Structures are given as structure tokens and as C-alpha cells.
Amino acid sequence: MNQKPASRNARYIVVEGPIGVGKTSLTTLLAPELNARLVFERAEENPFLTDFYQDPARFRFQTQIFFLMNRFSQQEEFSQHDLFNQVTISDYLFAKDRIFAYLNLNDHELALYEQIYRMIEPKVVRPDLVIFLQADTETILRRIKQRARSFEKNVSREYVEAVNEAYNHFFFRYSETPLLVINTSDIDFVHNPTDLDDLIRQIMSMREGTLYYVPKSRG
């Protein structure tokens, strides 16, 4: 039996990946090509984030719970009706909140977090396609430095490396939706239109399951 391309009917597409990998840049580029509405994660709204990077042990729980509830509130803002009327593309996956919870919280904090997460997660709309961006840690650190966000100036290399490993672990086992995996270490979608056009063609022909994307110029 022939499989139907998953993305032809995709109304809700998510671009994910670790801090600094290029999620927002790619999401912004894809939106006009797919005539999609943009939904950005509002990380800068978290009042605990700067303090967390300076003192993780003290501010980890407040930071995580704020992210969880803020992400849930944003998910509630767009309904099933909105998704059917217009393609939506977002630069975060709600389920990724647990990546950071398991990375940062201790056992007691995690138990409370899981109680809250299990109450709200069933109300979250599942995407039709997830695009997972990968990069090596050195590339991510360079991109974080280049974008120069004030609340990220104290982020450590060790933390970025741990986040990167946690993302790879999470998506290696991810099977809830069609998944397109892209290693961006040697790809420049922002400045190379050929790379972007090639990716868009891949998205439009994406089928069920998991696909590891290899650009034509490097295949």
C-alpha cells in the first residue's frame, strides 16, 4: 500500500531542537513559503531565566514551572478551528518541556512537576509534523554567541552540551508524529536559498515515520 505524504495535509508543523540551533530562524523562513501563521516560544517572558543560568540549583523549579504553564497557556490560544483554517508553524514542541524537567529537577521537584504535566498534557494539540534540528555543541555555542541574547550570556558549555545530548536522546525514541531530522552543522538555510528550497521540497514530500534529511548538495 502506498503511503500518503504526511506534510501535504499537515496543518500544524513544529520546528524543534536545542538552544541556539536555529529553530526560530528556520520557522520564520518556512512560514511565508507555506503560507503559515507563526507561533513563537516566549522564552524571554520567563522572569527566572537569567537567574537560572547564574544559579541553576536555586531557580530551576521556578523556571521550569513558569515555562510549563506559559507554554500551556500559549497552546490554548490556538484552537482546533484555527488549525483547520490556516497552517500553523511553531518553533517549539510542548512535549519538550519534559526534556528540561528531567535534565534540571531533583526527584522531589520532578514528582510535583509530573503531577501538573499529566493534568494538562492531554489538552494540548499534537502536531502533524515535527522537524528536529541537530548540531554539534561547538556550532550551537557559536550561534548563541552570535545572537547575543542578554539572558543567555551566562549559559555554560556544560549545560549546552547536556541539553544537546538530552534532545538527541528524546528524539531518538520519538514516534508520536512524523519526524524529519536535520543536522544543521554544515547547512545554512538563512544565507543559502538552495538549502532552504531543498528542505521545503523534502517537507512537502514527507511521509509517515522518521526521515533523516541529507541535502542534495552533500548527499
- Using the predicted structure, report yes or no on whether residue 1 has a pLDDT greater than 50: no
More confident residue, 210 or 147: 210
CATH code for the domain defined by 7-218: 3.40.50.300
Confidence tier at 18 by pLDDT (50, 70, 90)? very high
Listed by start position, the domains of the chain span 7-218
What pLDDT was estimated at residue 17? 94
d(CA 183, CA 117): 30
Task: Report the side by side order of strands in the sheet with 88-90.
Answer: 37-39, 88-90, 12-16, 129-134, 179-183, 210-213
Confidence tier at 180 by pLDDT (50, 70, 90)? very high
User: In a 3-state reduction of DSSP, which class is residue 48?
Assistant: coil
Rounded to 10 deg, the angle between the 97-104 and 56-77 helix axes is: 170
What pLDDT was estimated at residue 69? 94
CB-based contact 134:166 (threshold 8 Å):
no
Mean pLDDT of 150-176: 89
Burial label for 71, CB within 10 Å (0-12, 13-18, 19+), is buried
What digits encode the pLDDT tens for the residues 90-129? Answer: 999 999 999 999 999 999 999 999 999 999 999 998 999 9
What digits encode the pLDDT tens for the residues 160-171? Answer: 999 999 999 999
What pLDDT was estimated at residue 2? 43
